[in-house]
Amino acid sequence: MPLLKSLIPLFEEILECEFPKKFTNPTFDSYSRASDPVQYIRHFRDKIVVYSHNDPLMCLTFLSSLKGVVSDWFYSLPSRSLHNFEEITEALLTLYAYHREAEKNNNHLFTIKMRQDDNLKSYIGYFQN
């Protein structure tokens, strides 16, 4: 196990975390970079809010929620480079920032034009979503 621990980018104190006796890993979707990372982190925090005071537990649980290339990316980070949950989420957000949904403001409305093949009902429907 010492070799495995040296390959993980989490700080030693996190890896030594003991889970509470009645802890059950919440059920949530894994993150695979196909969605907005900010929304995923909110989703994760909502599911584990009861343990939000236990930073090492949040780090280890979050690690288990990554899959595919995101998990590969995580294990490619330098050994013992992440000290807390905030650093993990910042690293994820930095890498996958291009997956964030662009926030639309009032100026966006000026860029919307009705196409010739739209009828008025479908055009108005765009604003109702």
| Domain presence at residue 111 | no
| Domain presence at residue 124 | no
Please give the tally of structural domains in the chain.
Answer: 1
Q: Is there a contact between 88 and 32 (Cβ–Cβ < 8 Å)?
A: no
- What is the model's pTM? 0.68
d(CA 33, CA 107): 29
pLDDT-derived band of residue 25, with 50, 70 and 90 as boundaries?
confident
The whole-number average pLDDT for the span 96-124 is: 67
- Structural domain for 74, as ranges: 2-103
The dihedral sign for the CA sequence 46, 47, 49, 52: negative
The answer to whether residue 101 scores a pLDDT higher than 60 is no
Q: Is there a contact between 56 and 8 (Cβ–Cβ < 8 Å)?
A: no
Please report the pLDDT score of residue 3 as a whole number.
42
Q: Which two tokens stand for residue 121?
A: 């009902």
Of residues 85 and 128, more confidence is placed in 85
Q: Is there a contact between 56 and 14 (Cβ–Cβ < 8 Å)?
A: yes
